[in-house]
Structure 1
Amino acid sequence: MVGYVLNRLIGMIIVMFIVATVVFVIVRVTPGDPAAVMLGPDATAADIAALREQLGLNRPMLIQYVAFLEQVARGDLGRSIFLDQTVLSALAQRAEPTFFLTVFAMLIACAIALPVGIMAAWKRGTWTDQLVTAVAMLSASIPSFWLGLLFIQFFSVRMGWFPTSGYGGPGESFAGRMQHLVLPAVTLGIISSALITRFTRTSMIEVLSSDYIRTARAKGVGHMKVLLQHALKNALIPILTVIGLTAAVLISGAVVTETVFGLPGVGNLVVSAVLRRDYPVIQGALLIVAGLYVLLNFIIDMLYLVVDPRVRF
């Protein structure tokens, strides 16, 4: 088991090193002078030279690369050009909406996908199974921005149940801020549930056809006990994998939903940084999102140890 954990930790370090290298290269291969691109066409030669000095772009490429890796290793992601604050503080200020949006969306997705996928596997070949498969494929193909606008039109504009956009004012209570996340979380949850439903169904069908399941049924074990205690437990490995991947995709892919609902999250910050060519923010966001992605995969790998005792050996 120790070797399993060490292999995963070493893999995390290697992946983050590759991501940091790619992020460094992306900025340096941008057409033209990165400093001139960031400052825009109205910048003077003195301003460009000062920014090049500040970002270290006037040094040899290898020295820049080593300095960048040292900076990232210290947890220093640089300073935003337009926000006049460190990238870490800018990301931290926008982290709350994105974090809770991801958590709520995953809870909704799992609450929909797990029971529906299990039911479809249990009713394999019936009209229930076919309906679930069709709805899952339809949900996966719905654009998040279209579904979000539909929810805003009906639940916010027509019914008046939820805010249309934003995250509340500075004095807004926690409950008030969470109310702004209901519609975007449902939007992402419905779309994300499609993939989890299909994997749950496929994994459960494979397990339900196993010999030990037939033996349990022959012994008169109840349907619910067969499903939840015998089948689901042994089908959890691929289900946990797709849940972890979906959570990571939600963190990095909530840009469109945050924009539609006007949420001041990390996705909205990245869009603004791209439009303003604020490369330090883009670099920092890429590194943080990649780090969270790798961390989530590591957590899923550790859950394998709990779910499947064979992994420990």
Structure 2
Amino acid sequence: MTRYILQRLLGMLAVMFTVVTIVFIIVRIAPGDPAAVMLGPDATPADIAALRARLGLDQPLVVQYLFFLGQLIKGDLGQSIFLDMPVTRALAERAEPTFFLTLFSILIASAIALPVGILSAYKRGTLFDQAVTTFAMFAASIPSFWLGLVLIQIFAVRLGWFPVAGYGGPDASLLTRLSHLVLPAVALGIVSSALITRFTRASMLDVLNDDYVRTARSKGMGEFRVVMRHAFKNALIPVLTVIGLTAALLVSGAVVTETVFSLPGVGNLVVSAVLRRDYPVIQGALLVIAAIYVLINFGIDMLYILIDPRVRY
């Protein structure tokens, strides 16, 4: 088990180093000059050159890369060019709506997908199973931003049950802020539930006819216990994998949904940073998202140890 954990940790470090290098190169070779954007169209070449020198953008890429690595080792993601604050602070101020949006979305998706997928596999070939398969295909094809607009029109504009957009004022309570996340979380949750439903159904179908399931039934064990304790427990590893991947994708892919609902999250911050060529913010946000992605996958790998004894041995 110790070897298994060490292998995963070394893999995490290798992935993060690769991500750091790729992000640095992509940001630097992208068209656009942050110095020119900051100074505006009336800036002279001398002014632009002076600002580039002050920001360190005139240095060779190797020098900039080594300086960037040195900052990362110290836990410093740099200083935002436009916001004039540390990138870590800028990300921390935007983290709350993105965190809760991702959490609520994955909870809604799992609450829909797990029972529906299990029941669909148990009732394979029935009308219910066909309806679930159709729903999964339909939900997977719906753009989350379109579903968000539909939910806004129905539940916010017509019925007035939820806020249309935003995240509440500076003095708003946590409950008020969370009420702004209901509609975007439902939109993302419904779309994300499609993949989890299909994986749950497929994984359950693989185990429901195995010998140990038939043996449990032959011993007179209740059907619910057979399905949940024996079948679902052994089908859980691929399901956990897809749930973890979905959660990681929600962190990085909620940009459009945050824009539709005007949520001041990390997604909106990244969009603004890209438009302004704010290199430190872009780099910092991408690295944090990549780190979250890697940590979620590491957490899923650790759950394998609890679920499957073969991993421990």
> Contact 1:35–1:48 (CA<8 Å) still a contact in 2?
yes
Query: Secondary structure of the equivalent of 1:59?
Result: coil
Supply the distance in 2 between the matched residues of 1:38 and 1:143 (Cα, whole angstroms). 35
> Contact 1:27–1:34 (CA<8 Å) still a contact in 2?
no
Match in the other structure for 2:241:
241
Query: Secondary structure of the equivalent of 2:160?
Result: coil
Does 1:133 find its partner at 2:133?
yes
Match in the other structure for 1:205:
205
Supply the distance in 2 between the matched residues of 1:167 and 1:296 (Cα, whole angstroms). 26
Match in the other structure for 1:114:
114
Match in the other structure for 1:142:
142
TM-score (norm 2): 0.96
Query: Secondary structure of the equivalent of 2:263?
Result: coil
> Contact 1:167–1:177 (CA<8 Å) still a contact in 2?
yes
Supply the distance in 1 between the matched residues of 2:214 and 2:237 (Cα, whole angstroms). 21
Per the TM alignment, residue 32 of structure 1 is displaced from its structure 2 partner at its CA by: 5.9
> Contact 1:28–1:34 (CA<8 Å) still a contact in 2?
no
Match in the other structure for 1:100:
100
> Contact 2:305–2:311 (CA<8 Å) still a contact in 1?
yes
Percentage identity across paired residues of the two chains: 71
Describe the shift of the 1:289–1:169 C-alpha distance in structure 2 as closer, same or farther (beyond 3 A): same
- Deviation larger for 216-225 or 185-194: 216-225
Supply the distance in 2 between the matched residues of 1:225 and 1:32 (Cα, whole angstroms). 61
Describe the shift of the 1:125–1:273 C-alpha distance in structure 2 as closer, same or farther (beyond 3 A): same
Supply the distance in 2 between the matched residues of 1:288 and 1:38 (Cα, whole angstroms). 25
Match in the other structure for 1:51:
51
* Aligned AA (2:115): P
* Aligned AA (2:172): E
* Aligned AA (2:295): L
* Aligned AA (2:284): G
Cα distance per residue 1:202-247 (max 9 Å; x no partner): 0010011211111111222111001110011111110000000000
TM-score (norm 1): 0.96
> Contact 1:120–1:128 (CA<8 Å) still a contact in 2?
yes
Cα distance per residue 1:116-152 (max 9 Å; x no partner): 0000010011111111011011001001111001000
* Aligned AA (2:113): A
| Alignment of structure 1 residues 141-290 onto 2, 5 Å | 141-290=141-290
> Contact 2:37–2:276 (CA<8 Å) still a contact in 1?
no
Per the TM alignment, residue 38 of structure 1 is displaced from its structure 2 partner at its CA by: 5.8
Cα distance per residue 1:248-278 (max 9 Å; x no partner): 0000000011111110000111111122222
Supply the distance in 2 between the matched residues of 1:39 and 1:130 (Cα, whole angstroms). 59
Structure 2: which 5+ residue stretches go unaligned? Answer: none
* Aligned AA (1:265): G
Describe the shift of the 1:310–1:40 C-alpha distance in structure 2 as closer, same or farther (beyond 3 A): farther
> Contact 2:38–2:82 (CA<8 Å) still a contact in 1?
no
Cα distance per residue 1:13-38 (max 9 Å; x no partner): 11010000001111222246554356
Match in the other structure for 2:64:
64
* Aligned AA (1:193): S
Does 1:295 find its partner at 2:306?
no
Supply the distance in 2 between the matched residues of 1:59 and 1:145 (Cα, whole angstroms). 41
Structure 1: which 5+ residue stretches go unaligned? Answer: none
Query: Secondary structure of the equivalent of 1:94?
Result: helix
- How large is the Cα RMSD of the aligned pairs? 1.4
Describe the shift of the 1:157–1:32 C-alpha distance in structure 2 as closer, same or farther (beyond 3 A): closer
- Deviation larger for 189-198 or 35-44: 35-44
Supply the distance in 1 between the matched residues of 2:227 and 2:116 (Cα, whole angstroms). 13
Describe the shift of the 1:144–1:32 C-alpha distance in structure 2 as closer, same or farther (beyond 3 A): closer
